[in-house]
């Protein structure tokens, strides 16, 4: 069995460029289905399966699910669709996956700003035409594949990012990577680079500084810090989690 991942960073950047904030969540789910369909067809897989449950979040209303499903011609199975959240959590507890689910960063939560809950079929047609699908095609082409039994070994090779709780040095710079147009107040220099721009913008920064990535929970900071360290060899990155 293979575990296949698709890096959606550039796709998210294109969503922010082309899509109205209220439709970002729905568009993201449509693009995830389109990417999944491309992978499935290349592997002769006949159906897609998701963990969506009706009406738990804005993109999972009946209308929005119908709009999302339009993006794919494949059969989409949703075994949790009619279940209540407490029941789903009980199952996650029993099979040992709840811890992973609670600590996993979700792009769909990050970009949801006043999300539409009853989308328009006509509006989504216009929104979809504004997106550059070459970005999605490129992301799918660069998909990473690993056998499931190798996943644990692969994860163990990734050292966790160091977490800093107190700002001490003049050489430190906090980077607020939240999508919202706000910046945390700190005792040292703080700059704003939304997570979806970090891969490109970080290269432009002076590399003689120590950069501390900040987000509300620290999970997105860990994820993007590890990416910069592993893909670009950046060793001057930490995660900033101030004491409350």
Positions annotated as catalytic residues are 215
Give the chain's count of helices (H) and strands (E): 11, 9
Closest CA to 234 of 244, 224, 242: 224
Contact in structure between 242 and 190 (CB atoms under 8 Å):
no
First to last CA, the chain: 43
Token digits of residue 111 = 């970009």
**Residue of 54, 58, 8 lying closest to 33 (CA atoms):** 8
């Amino acid at each position: 069995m293979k575990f296949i991942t698709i890096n959606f960073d550039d796709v998210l950047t294109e969503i922010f460029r082309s899509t109205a904030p209220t439709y970002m969540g729905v568009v993201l789910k449509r693009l995830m289905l389109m990417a999944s369909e491309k992978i499935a067809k290349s592997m002769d897989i006949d159906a897609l399966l998701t963990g969506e449950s009706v009406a738990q979040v804005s993109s999972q209303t009946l209308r929005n699910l119908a709009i999302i499903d339009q993006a794919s011609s494949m059969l989409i199975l949703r075994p949790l669709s009619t279940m209540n959240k407490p029941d789903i959590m009980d199952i996650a507890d029993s099979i040992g996956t709840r811890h992973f689910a609670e600590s996993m960063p979700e792009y769909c939560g990050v970009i949801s700003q006043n999300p539409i809950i009853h989308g328009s079929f006509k509006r989504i047609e216009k929104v979809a035409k504004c997106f550059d699908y070459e970005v999605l095609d490129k992301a799918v082409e660069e998909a990473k594949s690993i056998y499931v039994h190798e996943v644990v070994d692969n994860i163990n090779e990734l050292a966790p990012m160091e977490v800093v709780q107190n700002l001490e040095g003049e050489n430190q710079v906090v980077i607020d990577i939240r999508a919202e147009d706000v910046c945390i107040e700190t005792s040292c220099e703080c700059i704003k680079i939304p997570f979806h721009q970090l891969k490109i913008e970080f290269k432009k920064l002076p590399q003689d500084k120590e950069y501390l990535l900040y987000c509300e929970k620290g999970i997105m900071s860990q994820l993007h810090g590890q990416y910069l360290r592993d893909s670009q060899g950046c060793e001057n990155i930490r995660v900033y989690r101030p004491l409350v």
